């Protein structure tokens, strides 16, 4: 028997009809909650009666869910035609409704392709699938301008009746097989149906990943280019964009992911790590993507390059010395790799001080993931943030007096700054979504970071004091891991 992956109706309806997008998972060690939505009540079993096997129960739950969704389909298409005919729903609004509807339709198709229906439920299931096919056919004719909305209203009426009848008859059969009270759920299901259909017509709110934006004049005055990672062309690749958000250009194209771009001090090259050759290795390329050169060639993984201020060396973290990550440094041509952090400290995500004498980095040596400091030779190691939640991805300010990082010390990931001694910690962002991976502008007046505020990852920027939030990127795909260069 085909094993269905049954998604609870709560999650399904959240994906189909929620008015706000679901947050995009990030590479950070945190869980994003699933948004709430109206739930179709689950049947309550009679404890004194023997239930069917878990596999059969799963199949029946999937059929029950799909019967309900076909009802939802019929109601949404009919209501969309009514509102379009009356002029209440314009073409843009219709597209939004149909986007919600497509998730429902795809789910029904997925279940229909894999479910095994007991004989007792089969007649109702076939009637529901006929209604489902008729809905898709009428919707296709409407979108192709073969029939008008008024004709959709008329032709949908028998389809709605068939979907309702299939739900009623099918649920009675399912309830008998599950040995549950069929009447107990029907009224609640009707209420859920009405609410879900109404939700499908609520236009999504305008959501900014960061804020409502700066003036065009302020954005136009920004200088430099921002390198970042994006999956807008299918897999993670390196892009550059002007600091104001214009002119996004793809630099890499490889079957493996490319990550963590880092500008050379003079802005002529970008270092990054790539999985294009099977494991993570560090590469450099010109600022236009030309003359790609592989710097590391090791069976262990090498990550997160960071240029020294004079451009002669690159710090990175590697697993070549131990199963845990260690901070290392090499010449800018990949030669003379030297381990900096000891095994008992380890570390990752290094960042140089402006004078090149010190490096900040992450380590899990303490109670939590903390930010540590050492000399550029690996001596004098000090824990700067000790035990107040997880502190990540430190970046030294160009002027040398501050370190920006992200932390979950107040509940979720936000951007903070502190002095280079670890004191005077100031929270810069206040967002229920995740804000992370901050990086300074070359003049230190701005900070670019990644935010999940719009439901996907976008690049945002703000003044160094946290004011003046605005979007650098605004794209349906994910943009993250930025580095602001000259």
Q: What is the percent of the chain where pLDDT is above 70?
A: 86
For 174-191, what is each residue's pLDDT tens digit? 988 888 777 767 777 777
* Predicted confidence band of residue 104 (pLDDT cuts 50, 70, 90): confident
Q: Which CATH architecture has domain 9-199?
A: Up-down Bundle (1.20)
For 257-283, what is each residue's pLDDT tens digit? 999 999 999 999 999 999 998 899 999
Nearest Cα to 139, choosing from 129, 153, 127, 126?
Answer: 153
Question: Across residues 70-84, what is the average pLDDT?
Answer: 94
Pick from 246-250, 428-432, 470-474 the range whose average pLDDT is largest.
246-250
Question: Across residues 225-240, what is the average pLDDT?
Answer: 94
For 190-208, what is each residue's pLDDT tens digit? 778 888 888 888 875 544 5
- Is the pLDDT at 99 greater than 60? The verdict is yes
pLDDT of residue 31: 31
> What is the layout of strands, in order, in the sheet containing 370-375?
348-352, 358-363, 370-375, 382-383
For 15-43, what is each residue's pLDDT tens digit? 333 333 333 333 443 332 322 233 333 33
pLDDT of residue 58: 85
Question: Cβ(18)–Cβ(199) under 8 Å?
Answer: yes
More confident residue, 432 or 408: 408
Which residue has 């300074």 as its token pair? 440
pLDDT of residue 98: 83
* Predicted confidence band of residue 483 (pLDDT cuts 50, 70, 90): very high
Where does CATH 1.20.120 sit in the chain? Answer: 9-199
At 432, list the tokens. Answer: 């229920």
For 388-408, what is each residue's pLDDT tens digit? 789 999 999 999 999 999 999
Q: Which CATH superfamily is domain 216-485 in?
A: TolB, C-terminal domain (2.120.10.30)
Please calculate the CA angle 166-170-174 and round it to the nearest 5 degrees.
165
Question: Across residues 224-252, what is the average pLDDT?
Answer: 94
For 284-342, what is each residue's pLDDT tens digit? 999 999 999 999 999 999 999 999 999 999 999 999 999 999 999 999 999 999 999 99
Looking at every residue in the chain, the average pLDDT score rounds to 85
Q: Global pTM?
A: 0.61
More confident residue, 20 or 416: 416
pLDDT of residue 3: 31
- Is the pLDDT at 88 greater than 60? The verdict is yes
What span, in angstroms and rounded, lies between the C-alpha atoms of 449 and 414? 10
Residues 6+ apart with CB under 8 A from 354: 309, 396, 397, 398, 399, 400
Where does CATH 2.120.10.30 sit in the chain? Answer: 216-485
Question: Cβ(270)–Cβ(261) under 8 Å?
Answer: yes
């Amino acid at each position: 028997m085909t094993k269905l992956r049954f998604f609870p109706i709560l999650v399904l309806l959240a994906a189909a009809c929620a008015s706000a997008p679901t947050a995009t998972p990030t590479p950070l060690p945190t869980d994003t909650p699933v948004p709430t939505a109206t739930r179709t009540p689950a049947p309550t079993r009679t404890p004194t009666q023997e239930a069917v096997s878990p596999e059969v129960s799963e199949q029946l739950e999937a059929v029950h869910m799909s019967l309900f969704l076909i009802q939802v389909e019929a109601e949404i298409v009919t209501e969309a035609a009514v509102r379009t005919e009356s002029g209440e729903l314009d073409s843009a609004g219709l597209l939004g409704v149909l986007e919600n509807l497509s998730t429902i339709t795809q789910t029904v198709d997925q279940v229909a392709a894999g479910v095994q229906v007991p004989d007792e439920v089969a007649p109702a299931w076939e009637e529901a699938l006929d209604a489902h096919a008729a809905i898709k056919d009428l919707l296709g004719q409407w979108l192709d301008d073969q029939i008008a909305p008024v004709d959709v209203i008329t032709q949908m009426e028998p389809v709605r009746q068939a979907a309702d009848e299939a739900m009623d008859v099918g649920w009675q059969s399912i309830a008998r097989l599950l040995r549950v009270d069929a009447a107990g759920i029907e009224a609640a299901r009707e209420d859920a149906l009405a609410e879900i259909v109404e939700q499908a017509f609520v236009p999504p709110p305008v959501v900014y990943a960061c804020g409502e934006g700066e003036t065009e004049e302020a954005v136009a005055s920004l200088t430099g280019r921002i390198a970042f990672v994006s999956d807008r062309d299918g897999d993670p690749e390196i892009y550059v964009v002007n600091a104001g958000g214009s002119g996004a250009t793809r630099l890499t194209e490889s079957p493996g992911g490319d990550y963590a771009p880092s500008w050379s001090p003079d802005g002529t090259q970008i270092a990054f790590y790539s999985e294009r050759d099977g494991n993570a290795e560090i590469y450099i390329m010109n600022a236009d993507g030309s003359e790609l050169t592989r710097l590391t060639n090791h069976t262990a993984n090498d990550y997160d390059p960071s240029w020294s201020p004079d451009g002669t060396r690159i710090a990175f973290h590697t697993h070549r010395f131990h199963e845990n990550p260690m901070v290392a440094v090499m010449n800018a041509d990949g030669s003379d790799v030297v381990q900096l952090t000891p095994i008992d400290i380890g570390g990752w995500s290094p960042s140089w001080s402006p004078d090149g004498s010190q490096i900040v980095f992450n380590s899990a040596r303490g109670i939590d993931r903390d930010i540590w400091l050492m000399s550029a030779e690996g001596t004098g190691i000090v824990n700067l943030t000790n035990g107040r939640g997880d502190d990540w991805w430190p970046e030294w300010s160009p002027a040398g007096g501050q370190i920006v990082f992200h932390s979950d010390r107040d509940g979720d990931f936000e951007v903070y700054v502190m002095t280079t001694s670890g004191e005077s910690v100031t929270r810069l962002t206040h967002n229920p979504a995740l804000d992370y991976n901050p990086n300074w502008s070359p003049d230190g007046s701005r900070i670019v970071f990644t935010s999940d505020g719009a439901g996907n990852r976008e690049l945002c920027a703000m003044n160094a004091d946290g004011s003046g939030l605005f979007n650098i990127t605004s794209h349906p795909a994910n943009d993250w891991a930025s580095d602001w260069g000259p």
